[in-house]
A and B are shown apart, each in its own frame.
Chain A
Amino acid sequence: MQKALDVGLPIVAIVFLVVGGVLGLTVAPADKDMGDVYRIMYVHVPAAWAALLAVTVTFVASLVYLLKNNWHADALGEASAEVGVFFGALLIVLGSIWARPTWGVWWDWDPRLTTAAILLFAFAGYLALRRFVDDPERRATWAAVAAIVAYVDVPILWFSVRWWRTLHQIQNTGESTHSVMTKSLLWNALAFALLYVWFVRLRYRVALARQAEELAEPPETEPAHTPAP
């Protein structure tokens, strides 16, 4: 089963990415305002959803660690945070590529963009914190608290486009888009979701291996005195 998932997940994800790519780049009609440039949304939006899913999993895993002292939850939190930082960085780069022809700038300190950048740096900080603390228990506790604090940004990010009507548009609904547009987005979103699961599975193993290494280390004690003959 594990092997089937390891092989099957990326294969199915690649198939979905190809279908989503073909639909998004060739079949879906141009947008009435944004023309063809909106096609970047088919990868930008799934990257955003994957990043939010990743930090949500880290948030829940952090709560579980703090409540149950569960080391698997700590490893899952670490794994999902790294994957979240990857998707978050991708999200910001893709948004920037889309913003240049649409807004005329690569970056703007719009509330949505700013809160997305804060989230990325907060979870990058979470990963940095994990590198700096040697003691596994202290590291897991501090990291869990950091993840919960960082997660406060998520609802602000999500509602920012409704609370402050600035440059970034609000979320579209399926009613306002052509059905092929919705399908293109869903194929890519499914591909990104599968890739998220596959990435976390791989990264989780790395985190577990490190935990096993650390927990197997003998405690640091004073060297025993050799008795005098």
Chain B
Amino acid sequence: MNGTIVGGWEYIWAAYLVTWGSLALYALSLVWRARKAKSGEPQPGSKP
């Protein structure tokens, strides 16, 4: 079968928004966890 896929920009924007959004959220979570670790708060998984 020959031919070019036409359109599909909604998928492209969805992919870029998922990428940028998840990168931002994961970065924020890591910054928050690293700050918590620096301040000496107990880490998740450590014994109470």
Contact = CB atoms under 8 A, between A and B. Distances in A.
Contacts of B19: 43, 47, 90, 94
B45 A35 contact: no
A43 B30 contact: no
A82 to B, nearest CB: 9
Interface residues of B, number: 31
B contact face: mostly helix, strand, loop, or mixed: helix
B34 A206 contact: yes
Interface residues of A, number: 42
Given A40-B12, A90-B19, A97-B14, A199 B5 contact: no
Contacts of A206: 30, 33-34, 36-37, 43
A76 B23 CA distance: 20
Contact of A97 (B6, B11, B26, B34): B11
Given A205-B34, A209-B37, A43 B11 contact: no
Contact of A210 (B4, B15, B37, B38): B37
A202 B4 contact: no
Contacts of A102: 5
A209 B36 CA distance: 10
Contact of A35 (B4, B31, B33): B4
Interface of A: 10, 17, 21, 25, 30-37, 39-40, 43-44, 47, 86, 90, 93-94, 97-98, 100-102, 130-131, 134, 195, 198-199, 202-203, 205-206, 208-210, 213-214, 217
Interface of B: 4-9, 11-12, 14-16, 18-20, 22-23, 26-27, 30-31, 33-34, 36-38, 40, 42-43, 45-47
20 contacts: A17-B20, A17-B23, A30-B4, A39-B12, A43-B16, A47-B19, A90-B19, A98-B11, A101-B5, A101-B7, A102-B5, A195-B27, A199-B30, A202-B34, A203-B33, A205-B34, A205-B37, A210-B37, A213-B43, A217-B47
